Each structure stands twice: as structure tokens, then as C-alpha cells.
Amino acid sequence: MAKVIYNKYIPFKGFKAIALVWLVFFRDGSKIASQHMWHINIHLRQQKEMLVVFFFLWYGIEWLIRLIQYRNAMTAYKNISFEREAYSHQAEIDYLDKRKPYSFVKYINNYGSKN
């Protein structure tokens, strides 16, 4: 289980939480629903299977590609394959029990929204 830290600096404004290996940072004053925790747990699993450094490398490169593609930082973020997987399954309590390794790969294809 990751250590939870509440603070006013991490993550950036507009976001409630960020999972960084064994630490989860929550923005002060954020109301965290159980599905936020499942979303975070999906990211922690992704990070583990990508040996952490490759997760963040892939995440950053894909975000840059999506930024060029959509020309909007928030839309780029929402269309990163890791985020697509996490948002798609954050309400499924048993998702991590049945999830196959590297499931985020199914979410790479360009079918995201342009909002």
C-alpha cells in the first residue's frame, strides 16, 4: 500500500491526486471518493509492471504526442493510454484481480474525445 500525503503543492491545481511509486499525493481539501482510489491503484499497478521509470517515460512521451494531436493539455492528459484504462475501470472494485498485464496497450488507439 502506498503512503498518502495531503499537501497544497502536489498535484498541480485542477487535479486531486497523483500516484508516484509508493507515494500518493492528494491536494489539500480534495474530496476523495472510492473510485479515485481505484483509479490510483490502477496507476500503481501500471507503474509496477513498467518498472516505474518506463511508466513515466512512456507517460511523458505519450502526453507530448497527444498534446500535438489535440492541441489542448487537458485533452492530451485524458487521452493517455494509462489514463484511458484507469478512467474506464475506476468503478470496478475487482478490476485489478482480473486485469491482464499491460492492459493499457488496448487504449493506445486514437479514439479519444477532443474535449
**What's the rounded Cα separation, in Å, for the pair 80 and 104?**
9
What pLDDT is stored for residue 46 in this prediction?
98
Q: Does residue 113 form part of some domain? A: no
Number of domains in the chain: 1
**Residue 90 covered by a domain:** yes
Query: Is residue 115 in a domain?
Result: no
| pLDDT for residue 115 | 42
Residue 33 forms part of a structural domain:
yes
Q: Domain range spanning residue 76?
A: 3-107
Q: Is residue 112 part of a domain?
A: no
C-alpha–C-alpha distance, residues 97 and 50, integer Å? 18
Residues in the chain with pLDDT values less than 70: 1, 110-115
Model pTM score: 0.90
